[in-house]
């Protein structure tokens, strides 16, 4: 059966006519192809439980056990992305891509909505395919052949207390294991990658975890990163996904950024995330 795949505004696609709890090889192949083309795919009206969630993620690749987020009490594969009514800050409230600080960055993540606020709580996605394609010639020339440093320590480490969202989330136990971040060696990746699935070129820096451009003096490095971050956030390359009960998102960490909007104060939001291992980037 051919799935109904519909572009989702400027970024991503919605896939209709599939039950992720009963997925066959033909449907999985179509999902993989859409994932490679669009960078993020969305599903509606799903009724998957935790076992189904794990099985779907595992069909896409080996599962990465998150080192810093609180885990589901019965399923260590599932990281909890949670905000309680009395908490001010959410997790992921800024443009970023997951796990760029790893030597082999994650392929992607599968996020399932478990409890949603009555309004708000949407997620923005930005296409780094489109961002690369639209780079001005001068900016493109500045990053030709460049590599960037990515770090977990300044976000998840014991000295990361300058970040309000990290401070509150660490204090209330939503994130932790700062010692692991402290000893995680910074890594470098190309500023522009050739995507391993699609073959497309993509911008691979992000405001959360990219800290420097290799070989540049600090001021020049920060100036170049600021230009790249501003370019990546251009509204031409981003789109908002509005969650509903039964919504599932599968995004590619090599081809997109995302941003969890923190606009539902006084309400609870619980999402379950599984991250999938990737491969070296070139």
- Among 174, 254, 258, 269, the active-site one is 258
Whether pLDDT at 227 is above 90: yes
Is 8 domain-assigned? yes
32 catalytic per annotation? no
- Among 8, 52, 98, 254, the active-site one is 98
273 catalytic per annotation? yes
Is 281 domain-assigned? no
Question: Per DSSP, which regions of the chain are E strands?
Answer: 4-7, 13-16, 40-43, 63-64, 79-83, 108-115, 123-127, 147-150, 187-190, 192-194, 201-203, 210-213, 238-241, 248-252, 256-260, 269-276
Residue 167 Rama label (left phi>0; alpha psi -120 to 50; beta)? alpha
Is 174 domain-assigned? yes
The CATH number for 20's domain is 3.60.130.10
Q: What is the pLDDT of residue 190?
A: 99
Q: What is the pLDDT of residue 181?
A: 59
**Residue-wise pLDDT tens digits, 107-137:** 999 999 999 999 999 999 999 999 999 999 9
Q: What is the pLDDT of residue 68?
A: 74
- Among 53, 114, 269, 273, the active-site one is 273
Is 282 domain-assigned? no
98 catalytic per annotation? yes
Query: Domains in the chain: how many in total?
Result: 1
Is 186 domain-assigned? yes
Is 177 domain-assigned? yes
Cα separation, 87 vs 169, in Å, equals: 9
8 catalytic per annotation? no
Is 249 domain-assigned? yes
- Across 138-176, b (16+ Cβ under 10 Å) vs e yields eeeebbeebbbbbbbbbbbbeebeebebbebbbeeebbe
- Domain extent for 206: 4-276
**Residue-wise pLDDT tens digits, 63-121:** 999 887 889 999 999 999 999 999 999 999 999 999 999 999 999 999 999 999 999 99
């Amino acid at each position: 059966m051919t799935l109904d795949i519909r572009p989702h505004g400027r970024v991503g696609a919605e896939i209709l006519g599939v039950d992720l709890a009963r997925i066959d090889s033909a449907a999985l192949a179509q999902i993989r192809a859409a994932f490679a083309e669009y960078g993020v795919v969305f599903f509606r009206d799903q009724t998957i439980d935790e076992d189904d969630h794990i099985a779907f993620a595992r069909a896409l690749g080996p599962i990465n056990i998150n080192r810093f987020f609180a885990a589901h009490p019965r399923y260590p594969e599932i990281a909890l992305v949670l905000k309680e009514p009395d908490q001010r800050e959410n997790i992921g409230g800024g443009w970023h891509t997951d796990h760029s600080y790893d030597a082999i960055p994650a392929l992607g993540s599968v996020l399932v909505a478990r409890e949603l606020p009555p309004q708000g709580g949407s997620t923005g996605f930005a296409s780094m395919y489109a961002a690369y394609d639209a780079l001005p010639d001068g900016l493109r020339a500045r990053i030709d052949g460049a590599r960037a440093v990515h770090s977990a320590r300044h976000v998840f480490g014991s000295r990361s207390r300058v970040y309000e969202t990290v401070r509150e989330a660490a204090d209330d136990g939503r994130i932790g294991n700062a010692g692991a971040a402290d000893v995680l060696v910074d890594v470098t990746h190309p500023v522009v990658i050739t995507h391993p699935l699609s073959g497309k070129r993509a911008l691979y820096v992000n405001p959360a975890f990219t800290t420097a451009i290799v070989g540049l003096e600090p001021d020049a490095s920060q100036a170049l990163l600021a230009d790249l971050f501003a370019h990546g956030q251009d509204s031409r390359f981003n789109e908002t996904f509005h969650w509903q009960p039964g919504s599932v998102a599968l995004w590619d960490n090599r081809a997109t950024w995302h941003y969890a909007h923190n606009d539902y104060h006084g309400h609870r939001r619980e999402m379950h995330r599984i991250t999938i291992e990737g491969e070296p980037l070139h």
